[in-house]
Each structure stands twice: as structure tokens, then as C-alpha cells.
């Protein structure tokens, strides 16, 4: 723990318990992560059209002759896209930049919220090193997911081509199927980007709270159109960081799944600064 914020707030004369301002991620932050995924999907779409379709068009009449040439062209394209993925996920690349930017933004919001709620300035006490584990884990997980999106798009493209060889599908129609496969990849990428942005913010919420001695938080529901009903029921309820803490301060023990933890959960944990003795 870097500082006992409740004790520091009481030393400042604060006596009223209150929540810190809610920290919620923005659409631009989600879009920025999406832009780490989208070039990979687009590279498969453009590469399939520009490098694979010409092979398909020349050799569609002979599966025996066409398969080896297509496989070599597809392997060359996969190698190009693997290099693209490496550039996106390399240290200092755009994925790193997204995670670092989100951590900096979250830190500023948390410091400002703590100051408004407690009168204590944490700006000199909280730095990027305090959230290093959350940031590194997020980068590693998104690196894996970007590769998975690439592999999935590759499979969809390959399936379209081999089905085309068997059915003698016209090249123009096969081009439409390639576009559709890329469309599915873009949609999945957008969902992942939204989810992973929330997950990194949720991890930062927990780390920041623990680092300043805040052991109580409020469940804030995302308000999504198709929510988990048990998450709706938790809205505005107070939880302790552990079951023992919850018993001590008279709030609910933490549930098995925390805000933002389950797939596509947009709920947020809001820090609660408990200052009174009751």
C-alpha cells in the first residue's frame, strides 16, 4: 500500500464517507484498440483479393494444378501478415501505446477523484510502475487475441477458397465471400476491443484502490441493452475487497465474478472512501 488514503483524508479534516467519481472508458479508447486489430483483418481481405484471387482465376479449371500454387500464395500472404502482427504488438508499437495511454488517463482520473473526495493530492505518490502488472497482462492478452483474430480470418478465407475450387465458384462471387469473412473479423475485433478496454480499466480500478487503502467499492451496472440479470441486481450495492473486510465494515462480500471480469461485462467498480466510524 502506497498510502492510507482514508487516514490521510481524516487528517485533512474529512469526516463524511463518499464515493470517488466513477471512471468509465471512452469510445475513443475502444476505437484506438480496435485500430490495433483492424489492419490485420484488412490485410487478409486485401491480400486475398490481390494475391489469391488471381491465382484462383488462372487455375480454377484444374484443382490438381491450382492447389499447390494457391497454397504457396497463401503461405506468402500469411508470412506478410505475421510480420504486420509483430509490428503491431512489438514493444513500443501501437498496442503498447494504447495500453500506456489508457493507464495514464486512468491515473489522472483517479488522482483527481481522490483529491475531490479526500482533499489529498496523490499525484506525487502514484505512477505507472504501480500499474505495471495490469498493463503488461493486458498487452500480452491482446497480443494473443490479435493473433487469434488473424488465424480465424485466415481460416475463413481458406475455407472460402477451397469451397470455391470444389464448386467452381466464379471469382467475383468468391470476392464477395472474402469481404464477408473480413466483415466478421471486423465485428469480432470491435467486440474484443470494447471488452478488453473495460477489462484493463477494471484491473486498474482494483490496483489503484488497493494501493491507497480503499477496501470498499460500489457495483455500477453498465446499462447495456442485454445485461446479466444478477449484475443488474448488484447495481449500487456496496462490497468489501475480501469477505473478512466485508464482515468488518458491514457490507457484502465480493462476488465470484467482479465488474468487467466476465466476457463483455461493462460494469464498473466505483471506489468508496469510508471515513465515518459506523
What global pTM score does this model have?
A: 0.93
For the chain, helix, strand, coil in percent to 5 are: 65, 5, 25
Least confident of 6-15, 95-104, 137-146, 197-206: 6-15
Task: State the burial class of residue 210 (Cβ atoms within 10 Å of its Cβ: 0-12, 13-18, 19+).
Answer: middle
Q: By residue range, what is the domain housing residue 170?
A: 24-213
Residue 222 inside a domain? The answer is no
Report the pLDDT value the prediction gives residue 2, as an integer from 0 to 100.
Answer: 80
Residue 231 inside a domain? The answer is no
Residue 227 inside a domain? The answer is no
Residue 113 inside a domain? The answer is yes
Tell me the Cα Rg of the chain. 25
Residue 72 inside a domain? The answer is yes
- Quick: pLDDT tens for 146-193: 999 999 999 999 999 989 888 889 999 999 999 999 999 999 999 999
56 near 157, Cβ under 8 Å? no
- Edge to edge, what strands does the sheet with 216-220 contain? 18-19, 268-273, 216-220, 238-240
Stretch 50-61: mean pLDDT, rounded? 84
Res 145 pLDDT > 70:
yes
Residue 176 inside a domain? The answer is yes
Res 44 pLDDT > 90:
yes
125 near 26, Cβ under 8 Å? no
Residue 111 inside a domain? The answer is yes
Residue 7 inside a domain? The answer is no
- Quick: pLDDT tens for 213-233: 999 999 999 988 889 999 999
Structural domain count, the chain: 1
246 near 260, Cβ under 8 Å? no
Amino acid at each position: 500500500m502506497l498510502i492510507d488514503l482514508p487516514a490521510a483524508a481524516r487528517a485533512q479534516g474529512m469526516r463524511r464517507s463518499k464515493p470517488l467519481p466513477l471512471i468509465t472508458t471512452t469510445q475513443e479508447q475502444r476505437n484506438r484498440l480496435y485500430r490495433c486489430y483492424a489492419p490485420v483483418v484488412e490485410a487478409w481481405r486485401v491480400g486475398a483479393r490481390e494475391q489469391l484471387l488471381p491465382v484462383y482465376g488462372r487455375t480454377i479449371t484444374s484443382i490438381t494444378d491450382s492447389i499447390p500454387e494457391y497454397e504457396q500464395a497463401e503461405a506468402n500472404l500469411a508470412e506478410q501478415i505475421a510480420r504486420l502482427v509483430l509490428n503491431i504488438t512489438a514493444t513500443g508499437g501501437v498496442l503498447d501505446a494504447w495500453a500506456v495511454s489508457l493507464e495514464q488517463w486512468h491515473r489522472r482520473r483517479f488522482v483527481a477523484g481522490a483529491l475531490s473526495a479526500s482533499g489529498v493530492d496523490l499525484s506525487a505518490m502514484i505512477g505507472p510502475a504501480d500499474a505495471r502488472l495490469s498493463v503488461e497482462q493486458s498487452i500480452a492478452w491482446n497480443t494473443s487475441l490479435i493473433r487469434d483474430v488473424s488465424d480465424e480470418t485466415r481460416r475463413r478465407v481458406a475455407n472460402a477458397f477451397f469451397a470455391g475450387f470444389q464448386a467452381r465458384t466464379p471469382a467475383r462471387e468468391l470476392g464477395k465471400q472474402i469481404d464477408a469473412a473480413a466483415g466478421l473479423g471486423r465485428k469480432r475485433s470491435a467486440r474484443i476491443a470494447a471488452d478488453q478496454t473495460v477489462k484493463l480499466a477494471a484491473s486498474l480500478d482494483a490496483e489503484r484502490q488497493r494501493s491507497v487503502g480503499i477496501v470498499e467499492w460500489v457495483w455500477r451496472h453498465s446499462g447495456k441493452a442485454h445485461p446479466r440479470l444478477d449484475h443488474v441486481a448488484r447495481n449500487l450495492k456496496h462490497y468489501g475487497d475480501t469477505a473478512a473486510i466485508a464482515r468488518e465494515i458491514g457490507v457484502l462480500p465480493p462476488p465470484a465474478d467482479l465488474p468487467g471480469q466476465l466476457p463483455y461485462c461493462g460494469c464498473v467498480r466505483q471506489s468508496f472512501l469510508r471515513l465515518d466510524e459506523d
